[in-house]
Amino acid sequence: MSLEKEDVIVDYIKQGTPSFRRALLALFAGGFNTFAILYDIQPLMPELSRDFHSSPTLTSLSLSLTTISMAISMLFVGSLSDAWGRKSIMTVSLFAASVLAVLTAISPDFHVLLVLRVIAGIVLAGLPAIAMTYLSEEIEPNGLGIAMGIYISGNSIGGMGGRIISGMVTDYFNWRIGIAVIGVLSLAATLLFSLTLPPSKHFRQRSLNLRTMAESLLSQFKDSNLVCIYALGFLLMGSFVTLYNYIGYQLAAPPYSLSQSLVGWIFIVYITGTFSSTWMGRLADRHPRHKVIWIALGIVFTGAVITLSGNLWAKIAGIAIFTFGFFGGHSVASSWIGKLAKQHKAQASSLYLFCYYVGSSIGGTTGGIFWTRFGWAGVIALIIFFVFTAFLVSLRLVSVSEAGHA
């Protein structure tokens, strides 16, 4: 009997089967699409500041408003997928976001750009709000950690690729063409996603009821362990976006004075996230998750402190170490949600990502205030505060992790 036929018979998609490989390829492509569009504007912020005569803090809204609108949208998209299906919503989301990326490139002014970015955030919610639920429903439990790690690897490569490509194209042409190129590449990734993602086998359609949706969302806060995971997502992402929003401003200014292409290529360190998310995902499948989280937080802290060095190569190394720790921690925390949530997994995943991207918006914009007033040392001080708070939160999760409930 062929593997294809075996896939139909078994309850879950198993590691090593064609369906497993297709699912991971599709979600890798979807993650690339989503995060290339979301973050392609981040290295371009100095260019936007010059073009639209806006301050770094104001310019940061081009990302912060996108992430906050995406976070709010996620609260509803997860429930919509319970009624309308997983794959269809993810596909429409990716296509609409790709078209909006192209439209953003022709924005006549900064206000229109912000409006388009807000709408893009709303539709971008479709994939991240549902992907984790799809994986937890369709992938066998023993393979969930590695599957989540590979999906997050797609996120990291998308974030890296979006930044590098938009930065390089901007250096040779302008930021508008840089964003348009990302939109075209994202359309291709959407096609790959649609053609390769296996249909849901464990999806059970439920009617859409707003009251029930609100109740199920609120019920997730009754579990203090889930609340701790939500807080970890907030603090991890707040740290991450704070660093990446303002490193471009520092590297483009004296004494470094790097070109837009070189600033974009700094984001090649994202590749470390591809390895750490998979590696720590596997560690979390075999060891207490709180200990793996501590390792990730220690790595994030170390990398952030190293970036205080005035040496360019040391600073880049610090960014790489920081990124390695962040993606590893996010991989562990996000897969933990699927194991802790006993019901309404889509809503639990949506709330995690809501807090995660609210952390991005708040941390990213607050970091602008620290950058303006205290320089790079102020940015790192804010990140250290986030990391220390995340460690305190993780202490609450020790008992549930050691008891083997997660």
In this predicted structure, what is the pLDDT of residue 6?
A: 41
Alpha-carbon span 274 to 302, nearest angstrom: 19
Q: Which residues contact 341 (CB under 8 A, 6 or more apart)?
A: 220, 223, 226, 348, 349
Compute CA 181 distance to the chain's CA centroid, rounded to the nearest angstrom: 21
**Gyration radius (Cα) of the chain, Å:** 20
Cβ atoms of 4 and 18 closer than 8 Å: yes
The closest alpha carbon to 239, from 356, 363, 369, belongs to 363
What is the H or E stretch that residue 40 is in? none
Q: What residues form DSSP beta bridges with 139? A: 13
The answer for residues whose C-beta is within 8 angstroms of residue 124's C-beta and 6 or more apart is 34, 37, 38, 66, 70, 73, 93, 97
Whole-number pLDDT of residue 2 = 42
Query: What is the token pair recorded at 66?
Result: 């996108």
According to DSSP, the residues that pair with 13 across neighbouring strands are 139
- What count of other Cβ atoms lies within 10 Å of the Cβ of residue 184? 12
Residue 240's pLDDT is 93
The amino acid occupying position 371 is W
* Confidence at residue 203, expressed as pLDDT on a 0 to 100 scale: 57
Helix, strand, or coil here: 21?
helix
Q: Is the torsion defined by CA of 277, 33, 93, 23 positive or negative?
A: negative
Q: Which amino acid is at 403?
A: A
CA 281, CA 152: separation in Å to the nearest integer? 10
Structure confidence at residue 160 (pLDDT): 82
Residues 6+ apart with CB under 8 A from 201: 11, 138
Let me know: does 58 contact 183? Beta carbons within 8 Å. no
- Any alpha helices (H) in 10-60, and if so which ranges? 18-39, 45-52, 56-59
Q: What does the DSSP assignment read for 349-392? A: HHHHHHHHHHHHHHHHHHHHHHHHHHHHHHHHHHHHHHHHHHHH
CATH, domain range 13-199+210-402: 1.20.1250.20
DSSP 81-122: HHHH-HHHHHHHHHHHHHHHHHHHTT-SSHHHHHHHHHHHHH
Q: What is the DSSP letter of 14?
A: P
Q: Tell me the three-class secondary structure of 152-215, residue by residue.
A: HHHHHHHHHHHHHHHHHHHHHCCHHHHHHHHHHHHHHHHHHHHHHCCCCCCCCCCCCCHHHHHH
**Residue type for 173, please?**
F
Distance of alpha carbon 167 from alpha carbon 158, whole angstroms: 14
How far is the C-alpha of 97 from the C-alpha of 119, rounded, in Å?
8
- pLDDT by 10s per residue, the chain, length 406: 444 444 444 467 777 788 888 888 888 899 889 989 998 998 898 899 889 988 888 998 999 899 899 888 888 776 676 666 678 889 999 999 999 999 999 999 999 999 999 999 999 988 887 887 788 777 777 777 777 777 877 877 888 888 889 989 998 889 999 999 999 999 999 999 989 888 777 656 566 666 666 666 666 667 778 888 999 999 999 999 999 989 988 998 889 998 878 888 888 887 887 788 778 877 877 777 778 899 999 999 999 999 999 899 999 999 999 999 998 898 888 777 767 766 666 677 778 888 888 998 899 889 989 999 999 999 999 999 999 999 999 888 776 555 554 4
- Domain definitions of the chain by residue range: 13-199+210-402
Helix (H, G, I), strand (E, B) or coil at 139: strand
Contact by Cβ (8 Å): 249, 264: no
Q: Which residue has the tokens 């790489």?
A: 320
Instruction: Return d(Cα 110, Cα 355) in angstroms, integer.
Output: 27
